[in-house]
Amino acid sequence: MGSQQDSAKTVLIKAGADRLREVLDGHRGERHVIAIRGYPDPDSIGSAMAHAYICAHFDIEPTILYFDDISHHENRALVKKLAIEMVRYGEGIDLTTFDRISVVDAQLLEATTDVRAIPIVSVVDHHKLQGEITAEFIDIREDAGSASSIYAEYLADGIAPMERDNPGCARLASALLYGIRSDTDDYLLAREIDYRAAAFLAGYADHDLLTGISMQSISPRTMEITQRAYASKVIADTYMLAGVGFVRDEDRDSIGQAADYLLRREGIDTVICYGIVNNQFVDGSLRTTSAVVEPDRYLKELFGADAHGVPYGGGRTDKGAFKIPLGPFAHCGDRDLLWSMVQRTIEDLFFNKIGINRE
């Protein structure tokens, strides 16, 4: 009984295509921001593209806004090949000209004054509930493997017309399919809604285009960072911890790719890979096949939250990520000392968490 009540608390749906249609219909003629929190990935990009498409159907002018670099080579190829129009926060954009903001594939926004000043019209996500949310439309489903699947469901319900011979619809369906595939680990973690969504989108997508995006080669920098991770690995029981040192902002996604690779080692079921990105943040990824490690809870307990109560990390069934600002320590002129401090701190937290003596 208790587990059922807990589940009810963490799956929040005040939504569906009919409700979203009703909400957006009341905002015709407005300008809306569609916010992607953190590093844009295929699921958030596809969801933002879908929300923008739906907004345009209701005479709402949409702008997709992202806050961190599009670092993964496949994600850059996705944006380029699908001609997705996105604006980087801080590029002279005046947010006071927008009426509402929508959040896709996330629930919390970057805590900047100009962003917080815009009323939230909608939140659509598939991650665990992060806390109290205030918006006109809320659709948070833990039983979905991706936010792209939720948007595909809206489209299947007829919230905006999809035409098989329309190149724009082909690009949109392709982006959503790619988002579903990415966030479900090639459908290994797919749920019922993800399969339904993929079946609906398949008839509209440009499959040759999808193949071209997914065939992007591994960059030399990714291979170098993976090599550094393997060389610095620390193994404790079935856990592996690997620091990769300093990483450029555009190579940030290589940390997650390195974690994916290290997880293949025999006898390892949980990997945490991390580095100092752009000399500003400690950025890391967690990958696991363990039946007992829950990435979202694990990272929140390991790293805690900032002064606003926003967790430094979070995740879903098999993977998670964390991002911790260095603050004034970013100005440390001794890079070796800074890295040594970061590495020692994370190792101390890790060994204390798993209850194993680091020696």
Give the pLDDT confidence score for residue 121 in this predicted structure. Answer: 96
Per-residue pLDDT of the chain (359 residues; tens, 9 = 90+): 333 333 333 344 445 899 999 999 999 999 999 999 888 989 999 999 999 999 999 999 999 999 887 767 777 888 888 888 899 887 678 889 999 999 999 887 766 678 888 999 999 999 888 778 889 999 999 889 999 999 999 999 999 999 998 999 999 999 999 999 988 888 878 899 999 999 999 999 988 888 877 765 567 788 899 999 999 999 998 999 999 999 988 888 889 889 988 998 889 999 999 999 999 999 999 999 998 999 999 999 999 998 888 889 988 778 889 999 999 999 998 999 999 999 999 999 999 988 877 66
Place of tokens 């990520």: 321
- List of residues 6+ apart from 47 with CB closer than 8 A: 104, 105, 124, 147, 148, 150, 151, 176, 179
Structure tokens at 37: 């929190």
Give the pLDDT confidence score for residue 358 in this predicted structure. Answer: 65
Reference 21, options 153, 151, 154; nearest CA is 154
Residues comprising the chain, all counted: 359
Q: Please state, in angstroms and rounded to a whole number, the distance separating the CA atoms of residues 192 and 86.
A: 30
Give the pLDDT confidence score for residue 169 in this predicted structure. Answer: 95
Q: Is 0.85 surpassed by the pTM of this model? A: no
Give the pLDDT confidence score for residue 14 in this predicted structure. Answer: 46
CB 98 within 8 A of CB 62: no
- List of residues 6+ apart from 338 with CB closer than 8 A: 276, 326, 329, 332
Give the pLDDT confidence score for residue 316 in this predicted structure. Answer: 77
Instruction: Tell me the H-state helices in 109-234.
Output: 113-116, 147-156, 167-183, 192-202, 207-214, 220-231
Domains of the chain (ranges, CATH numbers): 2-214 (3.90.1640.10), 220-354 (3.10.310.30)
- List of residues 6+ apart from 339 with CB closer than 8 A: 243, 245, 246, 276
Give the pLDDT confidence score for residue 110 in this predicted structure. Answer: 67
